[in-house]
Amino acid sequence: MDDYDNESISVAEALRRIESDLIPITESVQVALRSALGQVLAQDVCSPINVPAFPNSAMDGYALRHCDAAAPRLRVVGTAFAGKPYAQVIHLDECLRIFTGAMLPEGADTVVMQEYVQTDGESIQLTTACTLGQFVIKVGDDVKAGQIILRAGKRLLPADLGLLASLGITEVAVKRRLRVAYFSTGDELCALGEVPKPSQIYDSNRYSLAGLLSRLNMDGLDMGIIPDDPVAVENAFSHAARDCDAIITSGGVSVGDADFVTTVLRKIGQIHFWKIAMKPGRPLTFGKIQKVVFFGLSGNPVSMISTFYQFVQPALRYLQGQQKVQALRFQVPCLSPLKKLQGRVEFQRGILVPDEQGKLSVRSTGKQAANMLSSVSQANCFIVLPVECREVAVGDVVWVEPFEGLI
């Protein structure tokens, strides 16, 4: 069997079309360092200082003048600790007891490790030769004053906050957070806290979306459940479009009678409707209501999540001005036999597990139906099966994409 559909477009092509239609926001806000985690840097950051700002020792040992290294004995004139420098100059045939991170005294240019010294407490003798400048961390070794240390568009990680702090920087300009409104559509949906009528199901998509958006450090605006009614859908869109950068809906994008998302969008905005050569999540609606970006995702809980990861997440990152980042994908042996149809990419749910040696393999979560949210919950990655693949035998190598990458 073949699932080739000559009207469908590839995942990469859909993403390219989406991004070519987006203009990254330019507004930024100044925030304290601690609040900048996960936010997108709005400007390049240049270092105002050299790091280190003074020459210091990389080892516990003795600081000396390299030209005195061959002397039979060097007199120990004092001690320098990290944060407690020795204030005087090192002269001929003198040395200084020095500890890691301590400032190198004037005159000294070399540090000898304590392991290569014989000492009687008052003087030392070197037991090996040393090279000029060894174990001295020079001014600006790590970062030079004026050097660009972080580029605009970087999403700030914990070490970035530490790096900025090491430069004495207390606040940074970051892109403002995106406001992303989302709602679910469907008469069959029951909000949490209400009692479902027979034939109703609980609305789960808004909770998955809340989590997905919060992981992106974006402000999600929960607009609730919209019934399958064109007036209600139009009112909800118009209301949401006043106050956000993007709208995500789930449900109501198939071409069934009760699917009003596309008809309303066509009326009040611009719309693209694509069949994507992927499973799950084939139909994708992308459009705009004035400047507000619109994503209409399938209501199927699994499709909704896989299309979010493939399209909405990169698009929202781009819209916020984040540098382009490639999703982390790598190959591992597969422990389960897999089947698929040709003609589309499949994002099956997998569990990436290390063996006793730490080598990773992936196994399937089992049944891959698009309504089985429990299979996504058990999974920690997608097993990405390319268009031409038909089946995977146990031991075959497959591509995986972890849900949480390095970015």
Contacting residues toward ligand AMP, per CB under 6 A: 184, 186, 188-189, 201, 203-205, 250-254, 298-301
Residues 6+ apart with CB under 8 A from 327: 309, 314, 401, 405
288, 259, 284, 278: which is closest to 368 by C-alpha? 278
205 binds, options Mg ion, ligand AMP, none, Cβ within 5 to 8 A by partner type:
ligand AMP
Structure tokens at 360: 């990773």
43 binds, options Mg ion, ligand AMP, none, Cβ within 5 to 8 A by partner type:
none
What's the closest the beta carbon of residue 209 comes to ligand AMP, in angstroms? 9
What's the closest the beta carbon of residue 170 comes to ligand AMP, in angstroms? 43
* Helix 230-241, helix 261-268: angle, nearest 10: 50
280 binds, options Mg ion, ligand AMP, none, Cβ within 5 to 8 A by partner type:
none
Asked if 85 touches Mg ion (CB under 5 A), the answer is no
Q: 59-84 in b/e burial notation, b at 16+ Cβ within 10 A?
A: bbbbbbbbebbebeebebbeebeeee
254 binds, options ligand AMP, Mg ion, none, Cβ within 5 to 8 A by partner type:
ligand AMP
DSSP state, residue 309:
I
Number of residues that bind Mg ion (CB under 5 A): 4
Distance of CA 64 to the CA centre of its chain: 46
30 in Cβ contact with 74 (< 8 Å): no
298 binds, options ligand AMP, Mg ion, none, Cβ within 5 to 8 A by partner type:
ligand AMP
Q: Per-residue DSSP letters for 343-377?
A: TSEEEEEEEEEE-TT--EEEEE-S---TT-HHHHH
Q: Which is nearer to ligand AMP, 119 or 204 (CB)?
A: 204
Q: Which is nearer to Mg ion, 89 or 201 (CB)?
A: 201
222 in Cβ contact with 233 (< 8 Å): no
Segment lying near Mg ion (by CB under 5 A), choices 70-78, 162-170, 183-191, 289-297: 183-191
Structure tokens at 195: 């009692």
Give, as ranges, the residues between 297 and 316 that touch Mg ion (CB under 5 A).
Answer: 299
Q: Which is nearer to ligand AMP, 103 or 226 (CB)?
A: 226
188 binds, options ligand AMP, Mg ion, none, Cβ within 5 to 8 A by partner type:
ligand AMP
Q: Which residue type does 327 have? A: A
Q: Which is nearer to Mg ion, 203 or 401 (CB)?
A: 203
Q: Which is nearer to ligand AMP, 28 or 300 (CB)?
A: 300
DSSP state, residue 277:
S
401 binds, options ligand AMP, Mg ion, none, Cβ within 5 to 8 A by partner type:
none
What's the closest the beta carbon of residue 34 comes to ligand AMP, in angstroms? 35
Structure tokens at 31: 């925030």
Segment lying near Mg ion (by CB under 5 A), choices 86-94, 117-125, 184-192, 356-364: 184-192
282, 308, 310, 306: which is closest to 295 by C-alpha? 308
Asked if 350 touches Mg ion (CB under 5 A), the answer is no
Q: How far is CA 360 from CA 331, 381, 401, in A?
A: 9, 12, 13
Q: Which is nearer to Mg ion, 55 or 299 (CB)?
A: 299
Give, as ranges, the residues between 225 and 264 that touch Mg ion (CB under 5 A).
Answer: 251-252
Q: Which is nearer to ligand AMP, 204 or 378 (CB)?
A: 204
* Helix 11-20, helix 313-320: angle, nearest 10: 30
Q: Which is nearer to ligand AMP, 82 or 369 (CB)?
A: 369
201 binds, options Mg ion, ligand AMP, none, Cβ within 5 to 8 A by partner type:
ligand AMP
Strands (E), 201-318: 201-202, 219-226, 246-250, 270-275, 278-279, 283-289, 292-297
Q: Which is nearer to ligand AMP, 85 or 252 (CB)?
A: 252
Q: Catalog residues that contact Mg ion under the rule CB under 5 A.
A: 186, 251-252, 299
